[in-house]
Chain A
């Protein structure tokens, strides 16, 4: 298997959805190809970076405040009309 062919299987390999036979070929190639090893490893790091960083993207406070305000307002409308409060 060549690096070029590896590229097409990369997604399935990383997602653990690769055909077992192909997986064996893939891993045999990687064992002797530091380039492909690093590509796989740094793709995994790329995914980890965004997955773990998801909650580090801060929600600005004014946006949060407006959100809660809208919800309270809508809640009042919805339930006040039902219960007459």
Chain B
């Protein structure tokens, strides 16, 4: 029954002390938060810690959430913050100094944009590719090939669909930097995936200019 209730209704019930309602919310969002943590951190134990901490933080602060319908977005914010703290810790840097470490001159990055090398349409649609277990594995591996700073921006912007501004705030970098990193991430992933899923060689357009 609880499964049919909206997030807002479940949050209200959970705020009134209904554990079942809260667990229904957890079940509704756990895979999404897991995917986020796993793809950002690329490490099962760290991702599990972030997932647990995200829901425990939500439990702790549930009474402060006024608009229950925002539960999913709120949860995502908590998870992004926690995941980012892990990334920061890995660099053995205090969070405050992360700005300096991560900020780069956007112009400099832009001048080195990777030019598309392999240009070919794909043999299958994204929907068809997602149907098969072996291609799912390749898709996941492709993401792991990306340097962390690009993978994180790609996941937050293109998968989680966080606005540029929120992504910039979460990562402590400028919006210009988010945009450049996102473009680089998309170009690199596209190149890699085209190598895997690109159409036959004769259809490939080689670089001409």
Contacts and interface: CB of A to CB of B under 8 A. Distances in A.
A47 B157 CA distance: 10
Contact of B209 (A2, A10, A50, A59): A2
Given A7-B115, A48-B126, A67 B205 contact: no
Interface in B142-166: 143, 154-155, 158-159, 161
Given A45-B122, A49-B193, A67 B139 contact: no
Interface of A: 2-4, 7-8, 10-12, 14, 34-35, 38-39, 41-43, 45-60, 63-64, 66-68, 70-72, 74-75, 78-79, 83
A11 B110 CA distance: 12
A81 B106 CA distance: 52
Contact of B48 (A56, A66, A74): A66
Q: How large is the interface on B (under 10, 10 to 19, 20 to 34, 35 or more residues)?
A: 35 or more
A63 B47 CA distance: 10
B38 A11 contact: no
B189 to A, nearest CB: 5
A51 B155 CA distance: 9
A52 B48 contact: no
B130 interface: yes
B119 A38 contact: yes
B130 A49 contact: yes
